[in-house]
Amino acid sequence: MRKLIVPFIVLSLTSCSYIPFMGKKDSTVQQKKSEPVKAVQKVEKIDESEPKPGDIKVIDGVEYIYARNRRYMLTPYEPEYVWIRKDEYSPGMFEALAKNLSGNEKERKQLEERIAKLEEDLKKKGIAPQIAYPAQIGMVPTGVGYPPAYTVPFAFPSPKMRRRIVILLLEDRTNYKEEHFGELATRRLITRVENSGAILCIDPNTIRHTGALTDPQNMKILNELYGIQAVVKGAVSDTYVSTARADGKDDTETSFALSKIALTVYNTETGTVLRQLSGRNPVFLSREKGDMSPEKAKVKAIDLAVELLAEDLLKSILNLDWHARVASVETGRVYINAGRLSGLQKGDILEVYAPGREVVDPATNSPMGKTKGIFKGEVEVSELFGLDACWATPVKAASFSATDLVYLKK
């Protein structure tokens, strides 16, 4: 009898007493299963908080707008959208290029085929074309010329003193020498860097010196006598154009062009190469339609290649220290070969140093630069005269000479 009672008690306890606990166990399992769902919902909320074009945020009291990066249309290595200070933002042509895409699917397809054909031709000639994205092909607004159409504002402020440089005539290595693309690219480059407000280009024909200006000894003379910080030499090459007529109601011809510009920047203080730059325009931005479209496309290709190099060229030159030279000394007056064009103003304080010595790296036997000589005193700019000259009054009495160098007091 006892053997029958014991199993009965066990069955009763199992079926009745543990039902609440099993219910609690089920709710615990459901609660654990619901936790990943909450985590997923949390991730979705984070995704919704990502910035969108046109969003504005305030950092340290300054408003920033999330807008299209203007350099994104020139090179594929830039982010498409960036945060820009609201007071420095202005919608430009590149926003229009992304938005005003052709609504005609047939025309879009024909353009893609033309670019693909041009790239195949370039590959056969041994030239690697710039990567083109068909989704970004757009009509360049008519009536927009150079430089406003392709001017990308620089991310750094112009310095107080403008660096003096010489840009030599770019060598024309294209197959269109009768079109003088070397002269065109030189003028475009000079205009582009001078519009930054940081550079003063000196005409090489005004320099009274014989011999190649890229000779190391001649460059040191340019630095000491004329205050020229850099010499730029380069070439235009690999200029090609592709023209075709699209089938359909519009029989006007469409042209694309490609051009390459290579530059070598020399530091006149050391007489060595400072930097070498090379740029090739994106093919899809050189599109031109109508009469003279091949010529227009080639000019636009050169403009775009210049734009790709301009900022890197400026940054390289602005790393060089500015200085000018004492031209002559009279009683109570020190004449300096820099003035209004260089950025000097009445009341500026200049430090005067004797010429320093050149330091050479013994391991590589290459010049590292020049140190400042003996400090001779300070002068205050009293009057600006001529095209780019001034005279200054000594603040601290000293014996100045015509070989001394002046630096802007920081």
The average pLDDT across 383-399 equals 88
Token pair 């200049």 is found at 350
Give the global pTM.
0.62
Complete DSSP assignment for 324-339:
EEEEEEETTEEEES--
Q: What burial class does residue 66 get, using C-beta atoms within 10 Å of its C-beta: 0-12 exposed, 13-18 middle, 19+ buried?
A: middle
What local confidence, expressed as pLDDT, does residue 6 receive?
Answer: 53
Model confidence over 88-140: pLDDT tens digits?
665 543 343 334 444 456 655 665 666 566 656 655 655 444 433 222 223 33
Cis ω before 294 (30° cut-off from 0): no
Model confidence over 3-43: pLDDT tens digits?
555 555 555 555 554 444 444 444 444 444 444 444 444 44
Which pairing describes strands 253-267 and 230-245: parallel, antiparallel, or unpaired? antiparallel
Asked whether the beta carbons of 121 and 240 are under 8 A apart, the reply is yes
What is the distance between the alpha carbons of residues 215 and 222, in angstroms, rounded to a whole number? 10
Closest CA to 328 of 385, 384, 390, 269: 390
pLDDT > 70? residue 246:
no
Q: Which CATH superfamily is domain 324-408 in?
A: FlgT, C-terminal domain (2.40.10.410)
Query: Which band of pLDDT confidence, cut at 50, 70 and 90, is reported for residue 159?
Result: low
At position 333, the amino acid (one-letter code) is R
What local confidence, expressed as pLDDT, does residue 156 receive?
Answer: 46
Class of domain 103-318: alpha beta
Asked whether the beta carbons of 348 and 372 are under 8 A apart, the reply is no
